[in-house]
Every structure is written in C-alpha cells, then in structure tokens.
Structure 1
Amino acid sequence: MFKAVISAETLRDAVEAVSSLVDEVKFTLSENGVELKAVDPANVAMVSFRLNSEAFEYFKATPGEIGVDLVRLADVLSMADRGENVTLELDEENHKLKIGVNSLSYTLSLIDPSAIRKEPRVPELDLPAHVILPGAHLRKAVRAAEKVSDHVVLGVTDDPEDQFYMEAKGDIDSLKLKMPGAELLGLKPGKARSLFSLDYLADMSKAIGKAQEVKLEMGVDYPLRISFKLGQGVEINYLLAPRIEQE
C-alpha cells in the first residue's frame, strides 16, 4: 500500500536529480519514506536519495518496492504548475501508479522491480577533505568549465587564499576558480586533487544548483562524494569516479 500527497516542485526536483543518471529505478517504500540507490549504465556515477515522510503533505506506505520509468514520470509532473500538489496512489492489483495533478488523473504502468538493475553497494570511503559551498556557486563554476574543456580538476590546498579550487584546461583555453576558506560555508582541510568528467558533473549540477548548500568530499585520485538537500526531507547523494590524469 502506498498513498501520498507531495508538492509537485519537490517531487520534480527529486526526480530530476536521479534522472540525470538513470531512466529506470526501483523505489523502496517504508513507513518512513521513499528511497533508492542506482548507478549509471557506464558504472561511473552513483546516486542515492531519500524522500523522508516529512517531505510529504500526506504519506502512508507499507514496506515494498516499485519499479518506475523516470522519463514518463517526469512527463506527467511537467503538467503541474508551481505551488500545486501531486497525489500518488499505488494500484497493486494492476501494477500501476495513479497520479493526480489538479483536475488531471494519470495512470502510470510500473516496471517489474526484478527487471531493473540491482541496487549498487555503496562503498565505504574515508575521504580526507571536504568543502561546503552554495549549490548555485558550484553550478556556475561547472557551466564556466564546460566552455573550455570536457573534464575538470577539483582540489583542496593548505593555502588559506586558495583552499578550494577547480581547474579546466582545453586545447586553447583554460579556467581556474579559487575560493579562500573564508568564502566557504564549511571546510575540512586535507590533501585532495582529482580529475572528473564534466559531462557527469554538468548533469548533476542541475539539481545541485537548487540546493542552498552542497558538501563535496574529496581525496587524491579518489571518487567525489556530493551531498545536499532539496528542501525539507529530501536528501540526495552522488558518487562520481575519477578519471586518471595523463602526464
């Protein structure tokens, strides 16, 4: 059993954060909310998210799993205006999700959860450095880096005037963003420098840009862990594998 009412904007933002990496997901329902873990087809990036019960206007569910096509769900949610709520109700007998948007009513066919790629195991990583900054700042920096290259270096130094930096180098142009510790919302100094694909970061940054603050955890040639919240009760985590820098 699953029945819920949630802000259309909240659900749209949560779906967008996941659909930037995967099209089909398995939602795990519990009495406390909805969660998922998924990895992209190339095994480069992982996303996990949780919609806690407090993110909903109304929420009631029994433990279970449902498979959802996020592209089709996003199409339905696009019909809702800002400020509107969406009602969700599971029709277990017919394997469908009923979605109400204002006076409109949709029936979304569900996917057999066993046909969806198995949930990934989230690796335990002890990442030595982290920074916290506004999501909009990171989104702007990623968009600037895209103009000169298809990859970017993220790092942390001991220099108080240059503690977090992003570098992008193309065949002709280059870009460097430097943020001193005083301009960051939070900082744990440590040795960190890794190269990442801008294609993935650009897709992730669409959701990240809506977050008031985002936490980046890094190491040397280690994956990048990105954590942020979208409003009350919506938690998103990304894990992005590094690329190996060419000498």
Structure 2
Amino acid sequence: MFKAVINAETLRDAIDSVSSLVDEVKFSISENGLELKAVDPANVAMVSLKIGSDAFEYFKADQGEIGVDLVRLSDVLSMADRGENVQLELDEESHKLKIGVGSLSYTLSLIDPTAIRKEPRIPDLDLPAHVTLPGGELRRAVKAAEKVSDHVILGVSDEGFYMEAKGDIDSLKLKIPSTELLGMKPGEARSLFSLDYLQDMSKSISKAGEVTLEMGIDYPLRVTFKLGQSVDINYLLAPRIEQE
C-alpha cells in the first residue's frame, strides 16, 4: 500500500534533481518515506534521493518498490499550479500509480523494478576537504565557467575554495575566501570535472540555501544539500584525468 499527499513543487524539485541524470528509477517505499539510488548511463555520476515522510501532507505506506519513468512523471507534475498539492496512490492490482492534480486525474503505468538497472553501491569515501556555500553561488560560478570551457577544476586551499576553467582562448578564475564560505574543512583538494554534469546538477543545487562540496586530489566530488527540511540529495561525480 502507498497513499500520499505532497506539495507539487516539493515533489517536482525532488524529481528534477534525479531526472537530470537518469530517466528510469526504482523507488524504495517504507514508512519513513521514499528513497532511491541511481547512476547515469555513462557511469560518471551517481545520485541518491530521500524524501522523508515529513515532507508529505499525508503519508501511509507499506514496504515495497516501484519502477517509475521520471520523464512521464515530470510531465504530469508540470500540470500542477504553484502551491497545489498532488495526491499519489498505488493501485497494486493494475500496477499503476494514480496521480491527482487539482481536478485532473492521471493513471501512470509503472515499470517492473527488476527491469531497471541495479542500484549502484555508493562508495564510502573519506574526502579530506569540505566547503559549504550558497547553492545559488555555485550555480552562478558553473554558468560562468560554461562560457569558457567544457570542463572545470575545483579545489580547496588554506585560503578557501577556487574554480578554474581554461578554454582555447579565454580563462576564468573564481576564488571564495574561507571568511565568505558558510563552512570549511581545509585539506588538499584539486580535481577536474565535466561541466555538462555540473550544469545539470547545479539547476537543483541553486534552489538550496546551502550546499556542501567534499573533494580530494583527483577524487570524486561529493555534493550534499537539502530541499526544504525533509528532502536530502547527494551527488557523486567522477573526476576527469587532467591533461598535461
């Protein structure tokens, strides 16, 4: 059984944070809420999402799994007006998800969870350097770097956080001193990343009041942030090998 009511914008923002990387996911349902882990087709980026039961106006569920096409779900959620709630109910016999948006009622066919790519094992990384900054600030920096190159260096020094992008003609440097960061754990960190992935991630990150980046030397980037009080998102992005 699964029956829930949630603010449409909350659910839409949560789904958008995942659909930027993957189209189909397997939601694990429990009395604590909804949870998923997924990896993009190129095995470059992972995402984990937790929508706690507290994020819902109403939530009642048994343990289970459902496979969802995020593109089709996003299309349905786009019909909701700002401030409107969405009703969700699982019809176990037909294996469909009933979605109510205002006076509209949709029936979304679900995917067999066993047909969806297996959930990735999120590696347990001890990344030495952490910085916390406003989500909008990171989004602005990524958009600026895109105008110069298709990849970017992210790093941490004793002075703070920095970003470097070098193109054939132009270059960009961003430095945020430690005194202007929301939080910082100094450590050696410098890695090269694809801006395509950072751009997709930063759309959701920009809605977060603060985002924490965890880095090392040529290590993956871990990005952690919350949307509201009860939606937790975690990205892991593999580094590119820096060319001499």
Give the alignment's TM-score, normalised by structure 1.
0.98
SS of the equivalent of 1:199 reads: helix
Could you tell me which of 208, 217, 220 is aligned with 1:220?
A: 217
AA matched with 1:85:
N
Q: List gaps (5 residues or longer) in structure 1.
A: none
AA matched with 1:22:
V
Q: Which runs of 4+ in 1 moved over 4 A?
A: none
Listed one character per residue, the Cα deviations across residues 193-221 of structure 1 (whole Å, up to 9, x for unaligned) are 00000000000000000000000000000
AA matched with 2:51:
L
Name the structure 1 match of 2:230: 233
Name the structure 2 match of 1:151: 151
Name the structure 1 match of 2:178: 181
Q: Cα distance, 1:232 vs. partner?
A: 1.7
Name the structure 1 match of 2:66: 66
Q: Cα distance, 1:119 vs. partner?
A: 0.2
Structure 1 distance, partners of 2:223, 2:162, is 16
Structure 2 distance, partners of 1:182, 1:84, is 40
AA matched with 1:145:
A
Listed one character per residue, the Cα deviations across residues 212-233 of structure 1 (whole Å, up to 9, x for unaligned) are 0000000000000000000020
Structure 2 distance, partners of 1:172, 1:91, is 57
Listed one character per residue, the Cα deviations across residues 13-36 of structure 1 (whole Å, up to 9, x for unaligned) are 000000000000000000100000
Structure 2 distance, partners of 1:13, 1:53, is 16
Structure 2 distance, partners of 1:211, 1:89, is 28
Q: List gaps (5 residues or longer) in structure 2.
A: none
Listed one character per residue, the Cα deviations across residues 51-72 of structure 1 (whole Å, up to 9, x for unaligned) are 0000000001000000000000
Aligned CA RMSD, in angstroms, stands at 0.4
AA matched with 2:7:
S
Structure 2 distance, partners of 1:102, 1:6, is 12
Name the structure 2 match of 1:93: 93
Could you tell me which of 168, 173, 194 is aligned with 1:171?
A: 168
AA matched with 1:157:
S
Name the structure 2 match of 1:244: 241
How many positions carry a matched residue from both structures? 244
AA matched with 2:135:
G
User: 1:103-182 to 2 correspondence within 5 Å?
Assistant: 103-158=103-158, 160=159, 163-182=160-179
SS of the equivalent of 1:14 reads: helix
- Quick one: percent identity of the two aligned structures? 82
Structure 2 distance, partners of 1:180, 1:83, is 38
